[in-house]
Amino acid sequence: MCTYSAVDGHVNDWHLVHLGGLALGGAALVMSEATAVVPEGRISDCDAGIWSDAHVADWQRVTRFIAAQGAIPAVQLAHAGRKASTSKPWTGSKPLTAEQGAWQTLGPSPIAFGAYPVPREMTLAEIDAVVAAFVAATRRALAAGFQCVEVHAAHGYLLHQFLSPLSNQRTDDYGGSQINRFRLPLRVARAVREAFPQALPVFVRISATDWKEGGWDLTGSIALCKELRALGIDLIDVSSGALVHDAQIPAGPGFQVPFAVAIRTQADIATGAVGFITSPAQAEQIVATGQADAVFLARELLRDPHWPLRAARVLGAEVAWPNPYLRGKI
């Protein structure tokens, strides 16, 4: 079971996923990433969203096209929290100015991400509203034709902010102890799972560690994933980092795969591995040796959009090629 993805982020990136046994009959899955559940949850001012019923018809055009190609449409539901209100990545991903249309960001505590503006601490009513927004977005996703949803709780966005003691210093039921910091991500995961048909998969994306002393770590991730498994979550998309701006991350080929291994074995839940996975042989080795149940490619797919076809040819897998590309198959 291999997964091929575009860079996580915004402005409507995409995953292309082969899911094997996860209730989808082995078809490829194409996922729209970082789709905002509320306007203020957008990372940038150009992010896609699914916070309005008016979005459903436009998404239906996308999902119908994906389905017509023999693939399964999926969507990642997201709220950026304190990392919202930025410019597009190719213009620097800088916080927007008032003149550029900046909006008030929210977070568990009034602690900024580096030089970003300080977010406003969320009230209990706003926390409840976020849960309701994820549920409404899930129902719209189903109406729009998506057959898989992923809850984004990684990369320093809102749900990750609640998990980490570096960004969550609340003293109420949503802060302090580990179980309190779990509370909002678990509420969202449970609500999304209940709102989506049980026969269709729900993923959760996490950062396994903040790579920062005193922050969120693998031990906490394993404990969280045990809770997510009990809620019926089908797969954990295992990334890391991006909560704090000054983390020292030892990035290199397959550097996050051990996190996927640990969560898969210790939390007994399917995982996807991601991070500097670039070659077909490397991806195949991760899945074939049981280190993870899926492999997610990011920048490599941007560099080589035809990577899945090339990988299939290198590995001897039979996949459908678009007719204009058939000459490249032989």
Give the HSE-up count for residue 32: Cα atoms under 13 Å, Cβ half-sphere: 23
Give the dihedral sign, CA 169/174/180/182: negative
Q: One-letter amino acid identity for 322?
A: P
Which residue(s) pair with 237 in the sheet?
205, 272
Q: Which two tokens stand for residue 263?
A: 């969560």
Q: Which residue's structure tokens are 């860079």?
A: 7
Catalogue the E-assigned strands of the chain. 3-5, 14-18, 28-36, 72-78, 106-107, 120-121, 149-153, 202-207, 235-239, 270-274, 294-296
Give the dihedral sign, CA 188/190/191/195: positive
d(CA 278, CA 4): 10
Asked if residue 132 lies in contact with residue 140, where contact means CB atoms within 8 angstroms, the answer is: no
d(CA 137, CA 152): 13
- By annotation, the residues acting in catalysis are 157
d(CA 239, CA 222): 13
Asked if residue 215 lies in contact with residue 207, where contact means CB atoms within 8 angstroms, the answer is: no
Give the HSE-up count for residue 114: Cα atoms under 13 Å, Cβ half-sphere: 13
d(CA 181, CA 170): 9
- Helices marked H in 97-172: 124-144, 158-163
Using DSSP, state whether 79 is helix, strand or coil. coil
Q: At what angle do helices 307-315 and 280-288 cross, to 10 degrees?
A: 70
